[in-house]
Chains A and B, each alone.
Chain A
């Protein structure tokens, strides 16, 4: 089977400082990969390099495109890469404000990606937007309200709806549950797990919350100081961590 995303030797430096160094892995269709590590370990740098927001200094990000098969997205032309970003890829930001247009209604936010790929029928766009609001458990009566009137959890769910409306195959998530209280986190995770299973999505989730990866991720990478120190199946890494830092990470989780 061809991997959906094949990352080879991604390196990003900020001057003398290492963002992330020589990261390689394959992601297969339908698989969810978790990336954990402490703040400053290079998780977000890696994610942004893969999603095309940052240009890595070395390495390849080969994505299995629908039309042309595997292509290196880093050497791809910018219009092609931005097109991928609107169709096959989705990016869920930690702060919903970064991923939403706060001055535009919820329906407009969800419809934007549809209109960006050429939808020009108002009734259809609105119907799809309403349908997606339902799927992320936002009441259809809120379709004309601005995200500024939404709670943090709702904003995050709206951001997810906005990203998934064009049926992407790969979702990048940067701390999707960060800044939400635990009960809202639990519902959001439940929702995400359902969507990932139903749509057969592949996802890369960056987080420092081990509970998130335990619930969502099939495989796990542990990063420290820009390097991947341990990788494997989620349960394997969390239940039997081998590297000293992974052991520290797992044992640092507070038990209630």
Chain B
């Protein structure tokens, strides 16, 4: 612990990242470039999220990390341990106790409160990237608000599959201005992005971009008038806790085609089980 500066990064780097975060909060949905540092983990493992977390953490914070909703996967455990060792902050798995939550690909089921910060790990921050490979052109499209191309992607979805088949990283428009990639969260989580009480920060380490949503920001998922946006999930109750309103993972349990559906948010599921809820697959 004493061998590291608080939260691993040096103070100048944290100031630089905080400036990018403040600018991002001032212009919701706008991608702010920042000088991303090498972190002691490979790109794609959450280097952007870790830098943002390091910049916002204070010694009094309680830190939680989730990976696809779970607190106990490799990525979540290693990042949580990383900040236990380098910042010495309290860690928790309970959503309501955490003040800073770093997440990969999910928003917790439990509604977040004012004073909490949700940090997303973002692999590709540019929603237009796969439609327009030139960075110079996508920046121009953002600055001139030329977002027709985003609808071309949704058009292609419908013409090929009969419905909008994009099921994660579903593009949103922020405050009627910037089109934003909400990181690869399932589109089930999209409605939670808007009007959220907590601060949402997005960090992309390899792509060197930070963007943000201040509390209570208007966020609208893009769609067509005759093919409206739909937040979808597997049509089952959770096998462990019986919840019908949470996002589910599908698990293959044997080699005879057996499967069960469980909440992807482990904290939510455990809390419900502790409160006495039981699903059909619970032991």
Shortest CB–CB separation between residue B137 and chain A, in angstroms? 11
A117 contacts across to B, CB distance below 8 A: 148
Q: Give A146's nearest chain B residue, CB to CB.
A: B156
A125 touches B225 (CB 8 A): no
Which among A105, A111, A122 has the highest number of chain B CB atoms within 10 Å? A122
Cross-chain contact of B151 among A79, A101, A120 (Cβ < 8 A) = A120
Q: Give B159's nearest chain A residue, CB to CB.
A: A144
Contacts A/B (CB < 8 Å), 30 sampled: A78-B144, A79-B144, A82-B144, A86-B148, A101-B152, A105-B156, A105-B160, A107-B155, A108-B152, A108-B155, A108-B156, A108-B159, A112-B148, A112-B149, A112-B152, A115-B149, A115-B151, A116-B148, A120-B151, A120-B224, A121-B224, A121-B225, A122-B155, A122-B224, A125-B155, A126-B155, A126-B159, A143-B159, A144-B159, A144-B160
A69 contacts across to B, CB distance below 8 A: none
Sorting the interface of chain B by its residue count into under 10, 10 to 19, 20 to 34 or 35 or more gives: 10 to 19
Is A84 in contact with chain B by the CB < 8 A criterion? no
Render A230-251 as a binary contact track against B, CB cut-off 8 A, 1 for contact: 0000000000000000000000
User: Which chain B residues numbered 155 to 171 have a C-beta less than 8 Å away from chain A?
Assistant: 155-156, 158-160
Could you tell me the distance between the alpha carbons of A107 and B156 in the complex, rounded to whole angstroms? 8
Could you tell me the distance between the alpha carbons of A112 and B150 in the complex, rounded to whole angstroms? 9
A113 contacts across to B, CB distance below 8 A: 148
B149 contacts across to A, CB distance below 8 A: 112, 115-116
A108 contacts across to B, CB distance below 8 A: 152, 155-156, 159
Cross-chain contact of B159 among A78, A79, A107, A115 (Cβ < 8 A) = A107
Cross-chain contact of A105 among B146, B151, B159, B227 (Cβ < 8 A) = B159
Could you tell me the distance between the alpha carbons of A208 and B160 in the complex, rounded to whole angstroms? 41
From DSSP, what is the main secondary structure of chain B's interface residues?
helix
Cross-chain contact of B227 among A86, A107, A122 (Cβ < 8 A) = A122
A121 contacts across to B, CB distance below 8 A: 224-226
Which among B144, B224, B227 has the highest number of chain A CB atoms within 10 Å? B224
User: Which chain A residues numbered 125 to 166 have a C-beta less than 8 Å away from chain B?
Assistant: 125-126, 143-144
B146 touches A116 (CB 8 A): yes
Render B214-244 as a binary contact track against A, CB cut-off 8 A, 1 for contact: 0000000000111100000000000000000
Is A15 in contact with chain B by the CB < 8 A criterion? no
B155 contacts across to A, CB distance below 8 A: 107-108, 111, 115, 122, 125-126
B227 touches A115 (CB 8 A): no
Shortest CB–CB separation between residue A143 and chain B, in angstroms? 7
User: Which chain B residues numbered 123 to 153 have a C-beta less than 8 Å away from chain A?
Assistant: 131, 144, 146, 148-149, 151-152
Residues of B within 8 A of A (CB): 131, 144, 146, 148-149, 151-152, 155-156, 158-160, 224-227
* Interface size, chain A (Cβ < 8 Å): 23
Query: Total A-B residue pairs with C-beta atoms closer than 8 Å?
Result: 52
Shortest CB–CB separation between residue A203 and chain B, in angstroms? 24
Could you tell me the distance between the alpha carbons of A117 and B149 in the complex, rounded to whole angstroms? 11
B146 touches A82 (CB 8 A): yes
B158 contacts across to A, CB distance below 8 A: 122
B131 contacts across to A, CB distance below 8 A: 101
Could you tell me the distance between the alpha carbons of A116 and B131 in the complex, rounded to whole angstroms? 14
A123 touches B151 (CB 8 A): no
Q: A107-B155, A122-B158, A125-B155 are in contact. List 12 more A-B contacts (CB 8 A).
A: A104-B152, A104-B156, A105-B159, A105-B160, A107-B159, A108-B152, A111-B152, A121-B224, A121-B225, A122-B225, A123-B226, A143-B159
Render A82-126 as a binary contact track against B, CB cut-off 8 A, 1 for contact: 100010000000000000010011011001110111001111011
Q: Give A82's nearest chain B residue, CB to CB.
A: B144
Could you tell me the distance between the alpha carbons of A82 and B145 in the complex, rounded to whole angstroms? 11
Could you tell me the distance between the alpha carbons of A209 and B179 in the complex, rounded to whole angstroms? 45
Could you tell me the distance between the alpha carbons of A80 and B227 in the complex, rounded to whole angstroms? 31
B226 touches A115 (CB 8 A): no
Q: Across chains A and B, which 3 residue pairs bring their CB atoms closest together, nearest first?
A: A116-B148, A115-B151, A122-B224
A122 touches B148 (CB 8 A): no
B225 contacts across to A, CB distance below 8 A: 120-122
Shortest CB–CB separation between residue A98 and chain B, in angstroms? 14
B152 contacts across to A, CB distance below 8 A: 101, 104, 108, 111-112, 115
Known interface pairs A108-B156, A144-B159; A115-B148 also in contact (CB < 8 Å):
yes
Could you tell me the distance between the alpha carbons of A98 and B149 in the complex, rounded to whole angstroms? 16
Could you tell me the distance between the alpha carbons of A140 and B224 in the complex, rounded to whole angstroms? 22
Could you tell me the distance between the alpha carbons of A125 and B158 in the complex, rounded to whole angstroms? 12
Could you tell me the distance between the alpha carbons of A121 and B224 in the complex, rounded to whole angstroms? 5
A115 contacts across to B, CB distance below 8 A: 148-149, 151-152, 155
Shortest CB–CB separation between residue B132 and chain A, in angstroms? 9
Shortest CB–CB separation between residue A101 and chain B, in angstroms? 7
A120 contacts across to B, CB distance below 8 A: 151, 224-225
B148 contacts across to A, CB distance below 8 A: 86, 112-113, 115-117
Q: Give A144's nearest chain B residue, CB to CB.
A: B159
A143 contacts across to B, CB distance below 8 A: 159
